[in-house]
Amino acid sequence: MADAADIREERTSVDDIFDTLRAEIMALELRPGDKLSESDMAARFGVSRQPVRDAFNRLANQDLLVIRPKRATEVKRFSMREIEKSRFVRAAVEEKVLRLAAENCDLVGAARLDMSIAEQEQLLETASFDSFGALDLIFHKTLSQIAKTEFAFDVILTEKTKIDRLCVLGLSKEQRLPDLVEDHRRIADAVKQHDGEAAVQAGMVHLGRLDETIARIEAQNANYFEIR
Amino acid sequence: MADAADIREERTSVDDIFDTLRAEIMALELRPGDKLSESDMAARFGVSRQPVRDAFNRLANQDLLVIRPKRATEVKRFSMREIEKSRFVRAAVEEKVLRLAAENCDLVGAARLDMSIAEQEQLLETASFDSFGALDLIFHKTLSQIAKTEFAFDVILTEKTKIDRLCVLGLSKEQRLPDLVEDHRRIADAVKQHDGEAAVQAGMVHLGRLDETIARIEAQNANYFEIR
DNA sequence: GATTTCATTCTTGCATACTAGAATTGCGAA
DNA sequence: TTCGCAATTCTAGTATGCAAGAATGAAATC
CB-CB contact of A112 with B178 (8 Å): no
Distance from CA of B68 to the nearest CA of A (A): 6
Range scoring the smallest mean pLDDT among A28-32, A72-76, B9-13: B9-13
Question: Residue closest to C22, CA→C1'?
Answer: B71
Is the pLDDT confidence value at A76 over 90? yes
Q: E strand or H helix at A36, and its extent?
A: strand A35-36
- Distance between CA atoms of residues A55 and A60, nearest Å: 9
> Count of residues for chain A?
228
CB-CB under 8 Å, B57 with A58: yes
B69, closest nucleotide (Cα–C1'): D12
> B119 with B142, same domain?
yes
Task: Name the residue type at position A111.
Answer: A
> A31 with A144, same domain?
no
Bases of chain D within 7 A of a CB of the protein: 10-17, 20-23
Total number of domains constituting chain B: 2
- Distance between CA atoms of residues A193 and B189, nearest Å: 37
Domain end marker among B75, B92, B115: B75
> B150 with B54, same domain?
no
> A86 with A137, same domain?
yes
pLDDT of residue B12: 84
> A95 with A141, same domain?
yes
Is the pLDDT confidence value at A9 over 80? no
Residues from chain A contacting residue B53 (CB–CB below 8 Å): 54
- Distance between CA atoms of residues B61 and B63, nearest Å: 5
- CATH at A154: 1.20.120.530
Domain end marker among B54, B75, B96: B75
A37, closest nucleotide (Cα–C1'): C11
Within chain B, what is the greatest distance between any pair of CA atoms? 60
- Closest-CA residue of B relative to A99 is B92
- Using CA atoms, how far residue B198 sits from A116, B91, B98, B194, in Å, is 38, 15, 9, 9
> A39 with A91, same domain?
no
- Distance between CA atoms of residues A15 and A8, nearest Å: 9
Q: Would you say residue B158 lies in a domain?
A: yes
Strand, coil or helix: what is B7? coil
Beta strand A72-75 with A35-36 is antiparallel
Distance from CA of A177 to the nearest CA of B (A): 28
> B68 with B106, same domain?
no
Domain end marker among B59, B75, B91: B75
Residues from chain A contacting residue B8 (CB–CB below 8 Å): 60, 67-69
Determine the structural domain holding residue A12 and report its residue range.
4-75
Q: How far apart are the first and last CA of chain A?
A: 28
B36 touches strand D (CB under 7 A): yes
Range A18-25 average pLDDT: 94
Segments in chain B forming alpha helices (H): 13-26, 38-45, 49-61, 80-104, 107-126, 132-146, 151-167, 173-192, 196-220
> B161 with B95, same domain?
yes
Mean pLDDT, chain A, rounded, equals 90
pLDDT of residue A227: 77
* Residue of B54, B151, B154 with shortest CB distance to A57: B54
Q: Would you say residue B1 lies in a domain?
A: no
* Angstrom distance, A223 CA to D30 C1': 37
CB-CB contact of B18 with A60 (8 Å): no
Is the pLDDT confidence value at A127 over 80? no
CB-CB under 8 Å, A89 with B61: no
Residues from chain A contacting residue B154 (CB–CB below 8 Å): 85
* Residue of A85, A92, A155 with shortest CB distance to B85: A155
CB-CB contact of A174 with A132 (8 Å): no
A67, closest nucleotide (Cα–C1'): C12
Is the pLDDT confidence value at A95 over 90? yes
> B84 with B188, same domain?
yes
* Angstrom distance, B37 CA to C23 C1': 14
A228 touches strand C (CB under 7 A): no
Range A208-220 average pLDDT: 92
- Distance between CA atoms of residues A45 and A101, nearest Å: 46
Query: ipTM of the assembly?
Result: 0.84
* Residue of B9, B53, B60 with shortest CB distance to A7: B60
**CB-count exposure of residue A113 (10 Å: 0-12, 13-18, 19+):** buried
- Distance between CA atoms of residues B222 and B228, nearest Å: 11
> A145 with A43, same domain?
no
- pLDDT digit string (tens) for chain B, length 228 residues: 434 334 334 678 888 999 999 999 999 999 999 999 999 999 999 999 999 999 999 899 888 999 988 888 999 999 999 999 999 999 999 999 999 999 999 999 999 999 999 999 999 988 777 889 999 999 999 999 999 999 999 999 999 988 999 999 988 777 889 999 999 999 999 999 999 999 999 999 999 999 989 999 999 998 899 876
Question: Residue closest to D20, CA→C1'?
Answer: A70
> B184 with B204, same domain?
yes
- CATH at A25: 1.10.10.10
* Residue of A9, A61, A93 with shortest CB distance to B61: A61
pLDDT of residue B72: 86
- Distance between CA atoms of residues A143 and A109, nearest Å: 8
> A92 with A161, same domain?
yes
Q: Would you say residue B160 lies in a domain?
A: yes
Residues from chain B contacting residue A82 (CB–CB below 8 Å): 151
